[in-house]
Amino acid sequence: MKSCKSSSADSGSESDSKCKPGPESGMKSGSERMESVARRRLAANARERRRMQGLNTAFDRLRKVVPQWGQDKKLSKYETLQMALSYIMALTRILAEAERYSSEREWINLQYDHFHQDNYHTYLGQRSPTESSHYPQKLFAYQHENYQIVN
DNA sequence: TAGGCCATCTGGTCCT
DNA sequence: AGGACCAGATGGCCTA
């Protein structure tokens, strides 16, 4: 789909002869064709804008469900994807453990041990700003590695 | 001021 | 043919 428009990225030198209709060429005048091309381009731009806006609302929805401890700044798109990945892996692991430990009490005790031994008390109590910003990374670091091994 | 992030435009490719 | 998707280019805004 080469257009006749000269673009900043691509000066369509090879298409010049095709794009300039001579006096003998088709039904539509040159200006009509230019108008049609311009109209289609504008429509495509609008569609693309709408598509990207849809993508961004999806990112916003994802940001809302992904943990953001101690983050006053909104996560970037890349960070959102990384955090979502780690979050999913963490939840998956918790579910797998829940299945492995038949009795509910046994599983609850396990979770208690996991969180309370190192991080959990620190997290719930008074934390320094640096600690709080590193907490999610600490919690999810293992899952991320796990994912990379699988894929 | 450099670097990061983002929105938009654009042309190419694939699919219906 | 037209729409969806994608990636590159570009310019604006913000922050360290």
| Residue-level pLDDT, tens digit, chain A, 151 residues | 333 333 333 332 223 333 333 333 344 577 777 788 888 888 888 889 888 988 988 998 999 899 876 667 889 898 899 899 999 999 999 998 888 876 777 777 777 776 665 443 343 333 333 434 444 444 554 333 333 323 3
- Measured CA to C1', what is the nucleotide nearest A74? B5
Alpha-carbon distance of A133 to A110, in angstroms, equals: 25
Which residue is the nearest neighbor of B9, CA to C1'?
A: A45
SS3 A13: helix
Instruction: Show me where the domains of chain A are located.
Output: 32-113
The Cα–Cα gap between A113 and A30 comes to: 76
CATH number of A32-113: 4.10.280.10
In Å, what is the separation between the CA of A137 and the C1' of B15? 41
Query: Residue A85 has what pLDDT?
Result: 92
Q: Say what the pLDDT of residue A71 is.
A: 67
Burial A105-117 (b: 16+ CB within 10 A, else e): eebeeeeeeeeee
What CA–CA distance (Å, rounded) separates A6 from A3? 8
Of A residues 65-104, those with CB within 7 angstroms of nucleic strand B are: 76-79
Which pLDDT value is given to residue A90?
93
For chain A, the first-to-last Cα distance in angstroms comes to 36
Give the residue nearest to nucleotide B4 (CA to C1').
A76
C9 closest protein residue (CA to C1'): A9
Query: Which strand B bases fall within 7 angstroms of a protein CB?
Result: 4-14
- Residue A12: nearest nucleotide (C-alpha to C1'): B11
Query: From the alpha carbon of A8, which nucleotide's C1' atom is closest?
Result: C9
CB A146 within 8 A of CB A88: no
pTM higher than 0.75: no
